[in-house]
Structure 1
Amino acid sequence: MNPAALDVPAPAADNVTPEPRQLTNQDRCDACGAQAYVEVNIASSTLDENFKRKEVPLLFCAHHYNKHEPRLVMSSAVRGISVDEREAFWERERNRTRGYE
């Protein structure tokens, strides 16, 4: 039988990275509920079908990320920062407080 004749989709490549998402006003800091500006991927204790640890997102406002950044950088559970929009926050604050110097 010709394998090309089968209607089976090709397996997805393992090295395909998803398009980074943008955080919205609906995304909230897991620590305090303020608007989130940073999304960090943390390894969970749950395993996927390939026996690799699943990653779960952890959202931080700018204040809480800055507060916990030293420990997050050193943690082996952190798999990476997928979104960091703190610069947008600081730009908005600079514009909001312009003229109050």
Structure 2
Amino acid sequence: MADKVIMLACAAGMSTSMLVQRMQDAAKAAGKDYKIFAKSTADIDSELASSEKPDVLLLGPQVQYMKNEVKKKTDEAGIPMDVINMMDYGMMKGDMVLATAEAMM
């Protein structure tokens, strides 16, 4: 089982999949055992209710309009969340997004 679970959420869960790979590469290079995955924002409720709920949730910049709604849910679940930095997302800087997630946990 992974030490930490990091969830990324975007409109369909597809545009973040390349970023997930870059984050996984950065975590592996640092010797960290993290489960990092992307899902659609429609899956947030079920992921927060799962037995292996995320330690942190990051929203893709394209769905930042949902931040307040999602923040209420993550606050209730005791999970930190924020929107991924648009420059880091656009340039697929997995190491920077990973560092952001780690700082939040």
TM-score interval for Structure 1 and Structure 2 normalised by the shorter chain: 0.3 to 0.5
Larger radius of gyration: 1
Q: Higher helix fraction: Structure 1 or Structure 2?
A: 2
Q: Which has the higher contact order (CA 8 A, sep 6+)?
A: 2
Q: Higher strand fraction: Structure 1 or Structure 2?
A: 1
Q: TM-score, normalised by structure 1?
A: 0.33
